């Protein structure tokens, strides 16, 4: 899933250095999903001086990384290899078609930034290099976040290195909560529901929600499914099957329906986050709590709320844990037809280097870094309101690492699925049967 700076990186800057949104993998053969081994599988990461006189072409998306962060990565790469970097900024409109076209040409860009859940689309057509053999060098002992690395891992092979992420945490109005007698953020699910009960009892206006949770907000709703141990789909020998009819997924869906039905308004059950905009509802005092990627849109509506907003990770039904989150963000991939495989791998190594991640990805642009180790290293220095996002990001789940997942996101079937449950048009079991059948078809469709 891609994240535009206007809706995401802003979460890490503007008035409060915060975060963003958004996230989505086993055999041991040497061939990728397209059936042929790719260049990077046998290549080594370029060493000092190996790139002298050469130029690496890198595509970045407009608005994701600041110029300062790109320069920090490029400068370190050049110092390590001697190669120069030609950065080409790409626009969002039609980007998937442009990337597919570029990967099919004999002289593609060497390194491309791709949304984490989009990686399977391009790996399926053999357009990306298999980087599995060099993972130990790239990871450098780090544990990459599953929500970033998972979508880039297809049939046990890796096709991308995580660059940055964003995710959701609970955002609450401290004053409304305090007026209901609550002065500390909950750390368990029972505490959360008890607090919301108190807020609901204190605020009886029919258009007020203790926790506004739109029915079509599938990114947030999935947290309940994952928290109960459910999955969207499972992979068995390359065949995907929808898994929402499983007992675990059904338990999570019922818990989500109960939560939304009790604490969100009836008007929220068949809408997404933008109509009406739930940031505006929060700023107007129509709700005490939302689950979102940042606080900046709220502050755009009402800057005076700056010191009145708190955040915390959504508590799990299991004490001591937080709900798993969906990560949105980007991975860096190497074009299979790149003539500079070793240098491209060196660029990925530079971008994922813990020092670069800490000083630039977090320190400059305030994104969630690629690994749990860098989260632990940097969380103490981020603003208090940002810490919940860093904490929540350490527990993530990937969406299915298969090209057909893009169909499920684009046709809105998953949005309809949760809205059908929230409104009561279908029971969780009925809705799951319908979506599982669609997942069976979409996830197993031949790659285009």
Tens digits of residue pLDDT in 194-219? 999 999 999 999 999 999 999 999 99
**With 70 as the cut, is the pLDDT of residue 7 above it?**
no
pLDDT at 37 over 60: no
Residue 41: its pLDDT value, please? Answer: 54
List the structure tokens of 193: 């529901």
Per-residue model confidence (pLDDT) at position 44: 77
Q: How would DSSP label each residue in 340-405?
A: -HHHHHHHHHHHT-HHHIIIIIITTT--B-SBHHHHHHHGGGS-GGGHHHHHHHTSB-PPP-STTH
Asked if 87 contacts 58 with a C-beta cutoff of 8 angstroms, the reply is yes
User: With contact defined as beta carbons under 8 Å apart, do 375 and 394 qualify?
Assistant: yes
Is pLDDT at 23 greater than 90 in this prediction? no
Nearest alpha-carbon partner for 172 in 269, 315, 276, 274:
315
Structural domains of the chain in order of their starting residue, each with its CATH number = 9-166+326-393 (3.40.190.10), 169-324+401-443 (3.40.190.10)
The pairing of beta strand 55-61 with beta strand 111-115 = parallel
Dig out the tokens for 272 from the structure.
């997404």
Mean pLDDT to the nearest integer, 247-266: 98
What pLDDT is stored for residue 45 in this prediction? 81
Nearest to 325 by CA among 171, 187, 148: 148
Comparing CA positions, the residue from 159, 168, 18, 135 lying closest to residue 371 is 135
Per the CB < 8 A criterion, the answer to whether 241 and 437 are in contact is: no
d(CA 172, CA 68): 32
Mean pLDDT, rounded, for 272-296: 96
pLDDT band at 10 (very low <50, low <70, confident <90, very high): very low
């Amino acid at each position: 899933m891609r994240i535009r700076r206007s809706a995401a990186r802003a979460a890490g800057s503007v008035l409060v250095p915060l975060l963003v949104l958004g996230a989505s993998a086993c055999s041991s053969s040497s061939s990728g999903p397209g059936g042929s081994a790719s260049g990077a599988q046998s290549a080594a990461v370029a060493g000092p001086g190996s790139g002298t006189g050469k130029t690496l072409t890198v595509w970045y998306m407009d608005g994701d990384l600041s110029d300062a962060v790109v320069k920090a990565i490029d400068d370190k790469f050049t110092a390590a290899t001697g190669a120069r970097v030609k950065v080409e900024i790409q626009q969002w409109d039609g980007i998937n078609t442009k990337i597919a076209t570029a990967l099919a040409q004999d002289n593609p860009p060497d390194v491309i930034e791709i949304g984490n859940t989009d990686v399977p689309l391009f790996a399926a057509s053999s357009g990306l290099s298999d980087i599995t053999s060099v993972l130990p060098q790239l990871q450098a002992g780090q544990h990459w976040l599953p929500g970033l690395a998972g979508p880039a891992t297809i049939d046990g092979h890796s096709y991308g290195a995580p660059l940055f992420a964003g995710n959701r945490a609970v955002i609450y109005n401290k004053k409304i909560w305090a007026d209901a007698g609550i002065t500390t953020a909950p750390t368990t699910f029972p505490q959360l529901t008890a607090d919301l009960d108190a807020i609901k009892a204190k605020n009886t206006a029919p258009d007020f929600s203790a926790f506004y949770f739109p029915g079509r907000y599938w990114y947030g709703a999935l947290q309940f499914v994952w928290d109960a141990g459910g999955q969207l789909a499972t992979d068995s020998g390359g065949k995907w099957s929808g898994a929402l009819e499983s007992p675990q997924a059904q338990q999570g869906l019922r818990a989500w329906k109960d939560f939304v039905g009790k604490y969100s308004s009836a008007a929220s059950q068949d809408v997404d986050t933008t109509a009406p905009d739930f940031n505006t509802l929060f700023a107007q005092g129509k709700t005490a709590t939302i689950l979102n990627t940042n606080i900046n849109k709220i502050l755009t509506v009402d800057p005076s709320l700056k010191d009145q907003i708190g955040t915390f990770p959504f508590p799990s039904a299991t004490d001591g844990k937080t709900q798993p989150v969906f990560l949105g963000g980007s991975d860096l991939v190497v074009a299979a037809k790149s003539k500079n495989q070793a240098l491209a791998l060196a660029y990925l190594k530079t971008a994922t280097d813990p020092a670069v991640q800490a000083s630039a990805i977090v320190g400059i642009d305030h994104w969630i870094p690629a690994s749990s180790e860098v989260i632990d290293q940097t969380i103490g220095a981020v603003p208090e309101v940002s810490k919940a996002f860093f904490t929540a990001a350490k527990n993530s789940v990937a969406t299915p690492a298969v090209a057909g997942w893009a169909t499920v996101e684009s046709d809105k079937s998953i949005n309809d699925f949760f809205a059908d449950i929230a409104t009561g048009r279908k029971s969780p079991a009925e809705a799951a049967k319908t979506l599982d059948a669609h997942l069976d078809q979409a996830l197993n469709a031949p790659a285009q």
